[in-house]
């Protein structure tokens, strides 16, 4: 699978890489010091950017930790997803979109440990995480509706987004916490095959 940055120009790729560096540093600092243990200025210093640059990428520290709902849905990735209707069914295309985003973001076991530490230390941030996920699902529903020529509130659209999210989360759990030797892409493909078998059983 290609990452979401594939096919983008140098400036766009650098922007994605900077955004991901800010997010990683925000998570590291939160896991080490707690959410109130560092300022935006200290976060900027850790990445080597200005405060103004930070706010060009994220509206708040919370959003830097959990990412923006639209991350991984850059113009090229969204256009490819919509244009892929005749080449792949919607569910594997959605799963691929989610996995590509996680791979390009450098998802690792260390990152998972950071997230676990953050939620344990700062349980109030769980609401931000859930809200970000809900907003991302809404954006995905819009993309699916455009791809399939329907509306974002179509039950088939909403179910596709929910099923894809479940498959991706299942693959991620094995990849991060069960020390699976398989790649995240392979785990997602196996979960997708299991889902297909369940629906045809």
Three-state secondary structure readout of 114-132: HHHHHHHHCHHHHHHHHHH
pLDDT tens for residues 23-53? 889 999 998 999 999 999 999 999 999 999 9
pLDDT tens for residues 168-194? 999 988 887 777 788 889 999 999 999
What is the number of other CB atoms lying within 10 angstroms of the CB of residue 76?
16
Q: Which residue has the tokens 């959410």?
A: 35
Q: Which residue has the tokens 């479940």?
A: 166
Domains (ranges, CATH) in the chain? 10-200 (1.10.357.10)
Rounded CA separation 68/58 (Å): 7
Split at pLDDT 50, 70, 90, the class of 103 is confident
Residue 92, both tokens: 């594997």
Q: How close are the terminal C-alpha atoms of the chain, in Å?
A: 29
- Mean pLDDT on 62-74: 86
Lowest-pLDDT range of 32-36, 47-51, 138-142, 197-201: 197-201
Cβ partners under 8 Å of residue 23, min gap 6: 58, 64, 65, 67, 105
* Amino acid 4: pLDDT: 41
């Amino acid at each position: 699978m290609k990452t979401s940055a594939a096919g983008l120009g140098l400036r766009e790729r650098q922007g994605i890489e900077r955004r991901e560096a800010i997010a990683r540093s925000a998570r590291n600092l939160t896991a080490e010091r707690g959410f109130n243990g560092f300022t935006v200025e200290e976060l900027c210093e850790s990445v080597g950017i200005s405060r103004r640059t930070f706010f060009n990428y994220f509206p708040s520290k919370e959003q830097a930790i959990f990412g923006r709902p639209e991350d991984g849905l850059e113009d090229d990735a969204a256009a490819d997803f919509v244009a892929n209707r005749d080449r792949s069914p919607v569910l594997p295309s959605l799963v691929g979109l989610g996995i590509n985003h996680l791979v390009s973001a450098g998802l690792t076991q260390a990152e998972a440990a950071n997230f676990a530490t953050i939620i344990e230390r700062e349980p109030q941030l769980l609401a931000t995480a859930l809200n970000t996920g809900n907003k991302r699902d809404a954006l995905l529903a819009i993309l699916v509706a455009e791809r399939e020529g329907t509306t974002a509130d179509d039950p088939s659209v909403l179910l596709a987004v929910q099923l894809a999210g479940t498959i991706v989360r299942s693959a991620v759990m094995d990849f991060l916490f069960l020390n699976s030797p398989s790649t995240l892409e392979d785990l997602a493909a196996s979960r997708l095959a299991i889902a297909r078998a369940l629906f045809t059983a």
